[in-house]
């Protein structure tokens, strides 16, 4: 690196990228995005359009947008990454397969499970050709395919793929590797959906044990596990423990996402529902006021309209289902405090 060069000198680009990757690992997503964009601004001027460095950087940027829940932007950059990889003649390689896997995950999060499955299977096809049979990336791919089958309600098929994933990971990874925690989480989700709550909780606890030891305290994977555990306790009607884990989920999301992010609002909503069932109206009110302040912006008139339109025409159980839940709790608590 030149000693006194300008900050847009090509030597600075890899430094910006490494800083971005560090910020990403710390769940500082906006800082990561800023660093990646600085690197891109430099490299796009000095590299050919099909340079693999650009493909890797586009994939990095996509991961940030994915973590922020901005899936359209994530798709845009992932497609750029794939196009760049194809233009460089590297489409039959583990890196291209990894990008297909990443793209499949974005589609999965958007609810486009058939598109996700197509990409996961394409990734698996490539990886079976270029990787050894016990490579950890194959384990991750089997795990992703299991999620699609779980989303389809084919839980036996999901467990079949999870067993393949776990077998590879146990042979190739350290027992405390984060990928094993992801697999245990996926097992937990399948058993939760099957209604086998005790088994689900056992897998979530195994996942949490690993993550608590190897991940930063504000890592998004920890938030996912805390949230999943809270869902089990809610399903068991244990409204003492559910808020404990939802609060942990909320603190992580608030540390890494904007206050008006949908995932933050969803967590507040889940927490408010648990507190409402606990008859803790003061804390429930606090949660829904935060939702209102950051996202809904309901006026007093809106609240009274909501009470008239919904609370007087639907049963409590109906109101507490689906997207109406936040509004319902807010209206109920509002009425109680009048």
What is the mean predicted confidence (pLDDT) over 257-283? 84
Distance, CA of 179 to CA of 172 (rounded, Å): 11
Percent residues over pLDDT 70 in the chain? 83
pLDDT at 333: 47
pLDDT at 5: 56
Asked if residue 190 has pLDDT above 90, the reply is yes
Give the model's confidence band at 297: pLDDT under 50 very low, under 70 low, under 90 confident, else very high. Answer: low
Token pair, residue 142, equals: 């089997």
Asked if residue 1 has pLDDT above 70, the reply is no
Asked if residue 331 has pLDDT above 80, the reply is no
For residue 247, give Cα distances in angstroms to 13, 188, 231, 243, 297. Answer: 39, 20, 13, 6, 23
Q: Which of 158-162, 189-193, 288-292 has the lowest mean pLDDT?
A: 288-292
Q: Would you give the end-to-end CA distance of the chain in angstroms?
A: 66
Please spell the DSSP secondary structure of 182-233, one letter per residue.
HHHHHHHHHHHHTT-HHHHHHHHHHHHHHHHHHS-TT-HHHHHHHHHHHHHH
Asked if residue 296 has pLDDT above 70, the reply is no
Q: Where are the domains of the chain?
A: 298-338
Give the model's confidence band at 336: pLDDT under 50 very low, under 70 low, under 90 confident, else very high. Answer: very low
Q: Which of 25-39, 45-59, 257-271, 319-333 has the lowest mean pLDDT?
A: 319-333
- Tell me the average pLDDT of the chain: 84
DSSP E strand stretches across 152-276: none
Give the model's confidence band at 26: pLDDT under 50 very low, under 70 low, under 90 confident, else very high. Answer: confident
Percent residues over pLDDT 90 in the chain? 56
Q: Which of 27-31, 64-68, 76-80, 288-292 has the lowest mean pLDDT?
A: 288-292
pLDDT at 99: 85
Asked if residue 92 has pLDDT above 80, the reply is no
What is the mean predicted confidence (pLDDT) over 176-197? 96
8 A C-beta contact, residue 172 and residue 204: no
Token pair, residue 124, equals: 């698996």
For residue 100, give Cα distances in angstroms to 41, 120, 121, 127, 228. Answer: 25, 7, 9, 11, 27
Token pair, residue 26, equals: 């710390």
Q: Which of 63-67, 179-183, 207-211 has the lowest mean pLDDT?
A: 63-67
Distance, CA of 149 to CA of 161 (rounded, Å): 9
* Residue 75 DSSP SS3: helix
pTM (2 d.p.): 0.74
């Amino acid at each position: 690196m030149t000693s006194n060069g300008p900050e847009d000198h090509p030597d600075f680009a890899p430094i910006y990228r490494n800083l971005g990757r560090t910020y990403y690992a710390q769940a500082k997503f906006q800082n990561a995005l800023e660093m990646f964009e600085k690197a891109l601004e430099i490299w796009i001027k000095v590299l050919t359009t099909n340079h693999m460095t650009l493909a890797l950087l586009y994939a990095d940027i996509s991961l940030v947008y994915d973590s922020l829940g901005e899936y359209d932007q994530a798709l845009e950059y992932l497609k750029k990454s794939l196009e760049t990889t194809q233009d460089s003649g590297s489409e039959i390689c583990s890196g291209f397969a990894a990008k297909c896997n990443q793209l499949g995950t974005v589609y999965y999060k958007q609810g486009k499970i058939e598109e996700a499955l197509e990409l996961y299977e394409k990734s698996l096809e490539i990886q079976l050709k270029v990787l050894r049979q016990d490579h950890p990336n194959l384990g991750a791919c089997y795990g992703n395919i299991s999620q699609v089958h779980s989303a389809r309600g084919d839980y036996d098929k999901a467990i079949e793929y999870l067993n393949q994933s776990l077998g590879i990971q146990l042979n190739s990874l350290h027992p405390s590797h984060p990928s094993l925690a992801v697999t245990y989480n996926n097992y937990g989700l399948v058993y939760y959906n099957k209604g086998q709550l005790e088994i689900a909780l056992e897998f979530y606890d195994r996942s949490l044990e690993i993550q608590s030891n190897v991940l930063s305290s504000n890592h998004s994977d920890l938030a996912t596990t805390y949230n999943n555990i809270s869902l089990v306790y809610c399903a068991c009607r244990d409204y003492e423990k559910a808020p404990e884990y939802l609060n942990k989920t909320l603190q992580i999301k608030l540390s890494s996402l904007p206050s008006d992010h949908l995932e933050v609002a969803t967590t507040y909503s889940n927490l408010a529902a648990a507190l409402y069932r606990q008859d803790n109206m003061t804390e429930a009110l606090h949660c829904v006021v935060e939702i209102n302040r950051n996202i809904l912006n309901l006026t007093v008139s809106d609240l009274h309209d909501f009470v008239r339109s919904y609370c007087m025409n639907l049963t409590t159980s109906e109101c507490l289902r689906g997207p109406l839940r936040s509004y319902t709790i807010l209206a109920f608590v509002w009425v109680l405090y009048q």
